[in-house]
Amino acid sequence: MPVTETTQFQPMWGGGVLLGMLGMGIASAIFSIKKRTITIVGCAGTAVGMLVLALAAMNRAEGLVFPALVMMGLFTGFFNVGALSMMMDMTIEGATGLFMGLWGMAQAFGNGVASFSGGALHTGLIESGLLGPNVAYFLIFAIEATGMVVATILMWHVSVSNFREAHAASMTSADTLRAMEAGATF
């Protein structure tokens, strides 16, 4: 695809993310939707969008690229709403700022690894001439979709109530405050 078209990829995906966050924010305010369910749907939907993108690359179906990017964006927005609200539920009293910082750091680290890995795969598979672009992009997006499927499976096993029970059994609020005052991190 020409550069004039590929420069629209990020705005299409990013617009989908914003619409997904807004839509899920409104839907979850109106309806009682479990945060874990929102997160799982976001993971699974993003995986499906990546698979559509992989198939579009393999079959050189340019007409599927923009819908796949918007789909990925919408479901990534769902994931963001669900995961962030779950993270807020899984904070320790008095340490919400610490957990927010850790969440931001984890997202930045994940984005950095994804960018580096995607660039390395692009260079190693396409620019080296090892694979044709359609096969290489199929492989790259299939790997990403697999990662999202793994994330979906992991999210299935996350429980806010189990986290709270484990926290209550292992540490009191006074213990947490003393650790924070001493500058300890965990």
Q: Regarding the domain delimited by 3-182, which CATH topology (the fold level of the hierarchy) does it fall under?
A: Growth Hormone; Chain: A; (1.20.1250)
pLDDT at 168: 67
- DSSP for 39-79? HHHHHHHHHHHHHHHHHHHHHT-GGGHHHHHHHHHHHHHHH
Tokens 């993310």 — which residue? 17
pLDDT at 107: 82
Q: Which residue ranges make up each domain of the chain?
A: 3-182
Cβ pair 26, 117 in contact under 8 A: no
Q: What angle do CA 159, 106, 83 make, to 5 degrees?
A: 35
pLDDT along the chain (186 residues), means of 10: 81 93 93 92 96 95 93 95 86 76 85 89 91 93 93 88 72 62 55
Q: How far apart are CA 19 and CA 34, in angstroms?
A: 19
| Residue 52, number of CB atoms within 10 A of its CB | 20
pLDDT at 1: 73
Nearest one of 107, 73, 27 to 35, comparing CA atoms: 27
